[in-house]
Each structure stands twice: as C-alpha cells, then as structure tokens.
Structure 1
Amino acid sequence: MEGNLLSEGNVNPQAFKPLKELTYLRLGRNHFRSIPRGLPASLLELYLENNLIEEISETAFNHTTNINVVVLRHNKLDESSIAPLAWINHRNLESLDLSHNNFYLVPSFLPKSLIHLVLAGNQIERIPGYVFAHMEPGLEYLYLSYNKLDGDAIEPESFLGTFNTMTELCLDHNQLTSIPMGINEMTTLHFLRLNNNKIRHISEDAICDPLNENDSHLVALRLENNFLDPRKIPPTAFSCVRSYSSVVLKPQRIK
C-alpha cells in the first residue's frame, strides 16, 4: 500500500482488524505523522519509510507484540520523540531501521531484543553510555555511517553490552579523530568500517587486544581516507585480523 495518500486521518483504526494472519505490511511513501493505529497482532514486519512520522507513542506497538522488523527510515524522528515504553520491553523486535531521521544521539530505551540497528544518515554526535547495556542477548549489527561522531562522541561505557555479540560495526563517514574506546573488547567483531574519518594515529591495542591471544576474528577492516601514515602504525596493531590483505589503508588524505 506504499506510494499513496494515506495518513492517520483517513485510515480507520478498525481497518486491519479482520486480517488475523497478516504478517507483512508496507505503508511507505505515504503521509503518516504517527504509527497507524489498529495494526494487527499477527504483524511481523512493518515498513513505514518515507513518511512524516515525528513521534512514537507509548501505545504505538502495544498490540503488535510479535513484531520482528520495523523500518522507519526517512522520517522526522529524533531522540525525544520516542516514548520510553514504546518498544523497550518487546521480546521479538530484532531489526530496527531509523536511518535518515533527525537524531543527534543514539536513542535510549531501544528494544531489549534488538540485534540489527541502522542509524546511518542522521546528525548523531554522541553514543551515550549504557545505551545498549540492557539488550539481551545483545546487539550484533550497528550502522552509524554518515553521522557527526567526533573525538568526544564515544564514552568508555558506550558499547557496554555488545562486547560478546557485535559482529558488524560501521562508523565510516564521521569525524572520529581516534579509534573509539571499546572496539578492542569486541571478541566477535568480524567487520569494522572506520574509513572516511579524521583518524591520525592507531595505538598498539586500539583495535586488537594484545592480551587476548584467541583466534583472529576480524575478517575485514577499512581505514582508508583518514590521516594515517601507514609506516607509523605499530606492527601488532592488526594482530586480530585474519589476513593483512583484509586491511584497507589506501588511499589516505594529505595532512
């Protein structure tokens, strides 16, 4: 039902009530300002991209307790427009796309069950401490490309709760000046993107923990388009990368 003129004003809350087995609903490219009311309890995937959604109320997903995928990219959401109890207690919501909205922070009160989070193309300047710490079993895929993360963006506790689950982390196209704290504690990380930042130095233990001599786990590491001098990178800095051919260091920007 995407690409129409639908909004909360012309969709009756009882419209979906007879659809007892509806699991997949696309309402993208319409005129919704909030999550449509009366969504069926059977819903597993909801696509609301390219609308005008500016709030998610406490009751927006009350009846869709089985929902697994929610796509809200290209809307008008920010960190203050999501009610604290909107979805934090959902046990099945594993994938959430909030890319291309108006977030300045990674939002709090994210679903406990979240595995896949997309926040690319916002204005995010900070990842607050403990923002992922409540998740069970923990976040695996985090996409924060094309934001405004800089040297003060990431706290020691920012990635708490992800150290044993994070598989893919994209922090490319930001303004980071160093390797963020916590990356060297991610024991399951396979893909790391830090290209197109302002990184000038890599310390010996910034990416790989020299005290952890377990199997090399990083499959791909991208660091091109920073301000790095490859000759000054410590020889053990990439010891947890499976193959040195998987490290992309060229080109670098001229200082």
Structure 2
Amino acid sequence: MLGLSFSLAVICLQVFLPTLLGAPGQCPSQCHCHGDLQHVICENIGLKKIPRVSEATRLLNLQHNTLGMLPTGGFSEMKGLISLHLQHCQIREIASQAFKGLKKLIYLYLSDNEISAIKPGAFEDLSELTYLYLDGNRISSLPKGIFSPMINLFILQLNDNKIRELQHGTFTGAKDLRWLHMSGNELSSMQPGSLDEVENLAILHLERNKLTTYPIMAMSKLRVVEELTLSKNPLSSIPDYAFRSFGRYLEKLHLDNMGLERFSSGAFEGVTALKSLHLDNNKLKTLPSSLDFSTLRNLTLSNNPWSCTCQLENLRKWMDSSRHRPDAVCASPANQRGKQIRDSSAFGRCKQKTKRAKKGTRH
C-alpha cells in the first residue's frame, strides 16, 4: 500500500510539476503566450523563480515578480531569446554566468530593481546584446571588464544608481557603445582613460552627479560626442580645450544648474558645430572669446549675474542678429543693473574702445 502511494505521488509530480513550472514546449502556468510560444508574458503573477520556456521563445516578460537573484545558468535553456524583461523584480544580485547560453539576446531590461552586486562574468555569452538597461538600481561599483562580452552594445542605461567612480578598463570590449547614460549617480571621480575604450560615444549624460572638476583626462580620447550633459554637478570652472577632441561634432551642451563661475579663455577652442548651449542658473559674469556664436540656435542664460561690459559684445551682436533672444539680465555695472542684455546701452561704445586699443597696440 505504501509502495502504491509512493508510485501515485511520483506520477502526480510527473504530470503536474511541468504544468506548474512550465515545461519546454508549453506555456507556463498563469502566463500568456502568443505566436506559438514566441512571446511569453508572465507579468505580475507572483513568480519567485524563473519559469521554463520553449527554445522557440523570442520574448520573455517577467516584470513585477519577486525573483530576488538571478542564478548561474537560469536562462540556459532559452537559447532563442532576443528580448528579456526583468524590470521591478526585486533582483538584488546577478550571479556569474547568469545569462549563459543567451547568445542571441539583443534587449535586456533590468531597470528598477535592487541590484547592488554584479558578479564578474555575469554577462558572459551576451555577444549580440545591443541595449542594456540597468537604471534605477543600487549599483555602487562596476568591476573592470564587466561589459567586455558585449562587443555590439549600443545603448547602456545606468541612470539613478550609486556609482562613485569610473575606473580605467570599466568599458573594455564595448567598443561600439554610442549612448552612455549615467545621470543621478554619485560620481566624484572619473579616472584618466576610463572612457578610452568607448571613444565612439555620441551621447554622454553625466548630470546630477558630484563632479567638482571637469574630467578632461577621462574624456580626452572621445572623438564624436554630439551631446554632453553635465547639469547639476558642482563644477565651478571649465578649463581650456575642454571639448576640443570632439568639438567638430558637439551640437548640444548642457552646463546649467551647476554654480559655474567661469570659463577659461580657451574652453571652447575647436568647438565648431554647437547648436544648443544651456548655461542658466549659474554664477557666470562673462563668456570666453573662444565661444563661436555663429552656429548657435538655442541658448539659455537666465539667472546669472552678467557683467554687461564689452566682453559680452559678441553675445549682444548675436542677439541683435538672431530671432532667438534669451532672457539674460545685467547685474553690473550699477547703471545697467536689472536691464536685459539685449536692451542694455553698455555696448554702444565697444567698437570705439576696440579701435583705440588696436591703435595703441600699433604705436
């Protein structure tokens, strides 16, 4: 009788366990499957473990479950996956070789979890991965070479984590990375060479960090940056040649809300394509002579203590010739205080002063 009960129990497990966990070739329990199991949707159904799905599955959506950690080889039977959605799954850790076997994966969404640890080798086999979203986690450091398997990585989202430093070698292997988003971290240091491996970056977002000095040595090998955002970093000055290595491509530059006090005279040397420049909410009194206004289409200047002297003559000329006349109020000299730069009378004699200065130089 005992033997019969045991046999029945084994049969029941063989029949029902695949249904509960999901066996290859059928839709996991409580999930929704479409297109002959190509799309498997298991969103918000109380999962605590990764379900088993068919090798034919191309998209697996596990959002809003409670997975805790991603173990080694947890997806190894899903060799056909192209898109994997793991947002809001309370994931704390990614084990080494967690994505082993996913050699066709292109999209990996890990946003809005509790990830604080990514073990070395976690992203092994992800040679086709193009889009990686790790924003909204608790990552404080990135092991050297962690992205090295991702030779096709194009977009990397690391916004709103706790990353404090970028080290040399962090992005080794990710040579095709074009968009790097690191806003809302705790970056206070970017080591020289930390971006050397991703010299083809086109978009670099570093706003809402703790950078106190412009990371010129970290960015010296970037060649084609089109958009750079440094807003809301406590930077007081921008040095000479800050953007020169990618100046022919730079079109959008965000330097607002920083407490920025000054530009070195050659800060904009080599910048020849700038279309949009945001400088509002700083402590700027003047602008450097190296800033070329000829390509600018959008310029924000409000909430700065501008000194309306001949040093701003090029800005005033641009305002006079442009349809776009940004809000910018003089703080000095005293007789111009409170006036808009575009309406100030302080620039009327600048040409005469320039002529006299040139004559004085010749004599």
TM over 0.5: yes
The reply to whether residue 156 of structure 1 matches residue 269 of structure 2 is no
**CA distance in structure 2 between the aligned counterparts of 1:42 and 1:65, rounded to whole angstroms:** 8
Superposition map of 1:94-133 within 5 A = 94-109=202-217, 110=219, 111-133=222-244
The reply to whether residue 223 of structure 1 matches residue 327 of structure 2 is yes
Q: Give the share of equivalent positions with the same residue, in percent.
A: 26
Superposition map of 1:116-195 within 5 A = 116-135=227-246, 137-150=248-261, 153-162=262-271, 164-183=272-291, 185-195=292-302
Query: CA 1:158–1:191 in 2, change beyond 3 Å: closer, same or farther?
Result: same
Query: Per-residue displacement from partner, 1:61-81 (whole Å, max 9, x unpaired)?
Result: 111000001111111112xx2
- Aligned position for 2:36: none
State the SS of the aligned residue for 1:142: strand
Alpha-carbon offset, residue 141 of structure 1: 1.1
Query: Per-residue displacement from partner, 1:92-143 (whole Å, max 9, x unpaired)?
Result: 2111111011112222131222121000011110001112122263322110
Query: Per-residue displacement from partner, 1:157-201 (whole Å, max 9, x unpaired)?
Result: 111111x11111111100112344333x34311111111111141
Query: CA 1:38–1:128 in 2, change beyond 3 Å: closer, same or farther?
Result: same
State the SS of the aligned residue for 2:228: strand
**CA distance in structure 1 between the aligned counterparts of 2:231 and 2:300, rounded to whole angstroms:** 13
* AA in 2 matched with 1:188: T
State the SS of the aligned residue for 2:306: coil
Alpha-carbon offset, residue 225 of structure 1: 5.1
Alpha-carbon offset, residue 3 of structure 1: 1.5
Q: Does structure 1 retain, via aligned residues, the 8 Å contact 2:182–2:207?
A: yes
Which runs of no fewer than 5 residues in structure 1 stay unpaired?
A: 211-215, 238-255
1:59 is aligned, of 169, 180, 194, to 169
**CA distance in structure 2 between the aligned counterparts of 1:120 and 1:44, rounded to whole angstroms:** 23
**CA distance in structure 2 between the aligned counterparts of 1:34 and 1:113, rounded to whole angstroms:** 26
The structure having more radius of gyration, on CA atoms, is 2
The reply to whether residue 49 of structure 1 matches residue 156 of structure 2 is no
Q: Does structure 2 retain, via aligned residues, the 8 Å contact 1:165–1:186?
A: no
Superposition map of 1:67-106 within 5 A = 67-78=177-188, 81-88=189-196, 90-106=198-214
* AA in 2 matched with 1:105: T
**CA distance in structure 2 between the aligned counterparts of 1:43 and 1:167, rounded to whole angstroms:** 28
**CA distance in structure 1 between the aligned counterparts of 2:229 and 2:157, rounded to whole angstroms:** 14
Q: Does structure 2 retain, via aligned residues, the 8 Å contact 1:24–1:43?
A: yes
**CA distance in structure 1 between the aligned counterparts of 2:302 and 2:202, rounded to whole angstroms:** 27
Which runs of no fewer than 5 residues in structure 2 stay unpaired?
A: 1-109, 332-337, 351-363
Q: Does structure 2 retain, via aligned residues, the 8 Å contact 1:173–1:195?
A: yes
1:23 is aligned, of 127, 130, 135, to 130
State the SS of the aligned residue for 1:206: helix
Alpha-carbon offset, residue 236 of structure 1: 11
- TM-score, normalised relative to structure 1: 0.78
Higher relative contact order (CA 8 A, sep 6+): 1
* AA in 2 matched with 1:83: Q
- TM-score, normalised relative to structure 2: 0.56
Q: Does structure 1 retain, via aligned residues, the 8 Å contact 2:232–2:256?
A: yes
* AA in 2 matched with 1:93: L
* AA in 2 matched with 1:168: S
Query: CA 1:123–1:176 in 2, change beyond 3 Å: closer, same or farther?
Result: same
Alpha-carbon offset, residue 144 of structure 1: 0.5
Query: CA 1:191–1:233 in 2, change beyond 3 Å: closer, same or farther?
Result: farther
| 87-96 vs 165-174, greater mean Cα deviation | 87-96
**CA distance in structure 1 between the aligned counterparts of 2:323 and 2:278, rounded to whole angstroms:** 14
Which structure's residues are more often helix, by fraction?
A: 2
When the two chains are superposed, the root-mean-square deviation of aligned CA atoms in Å is 2.5
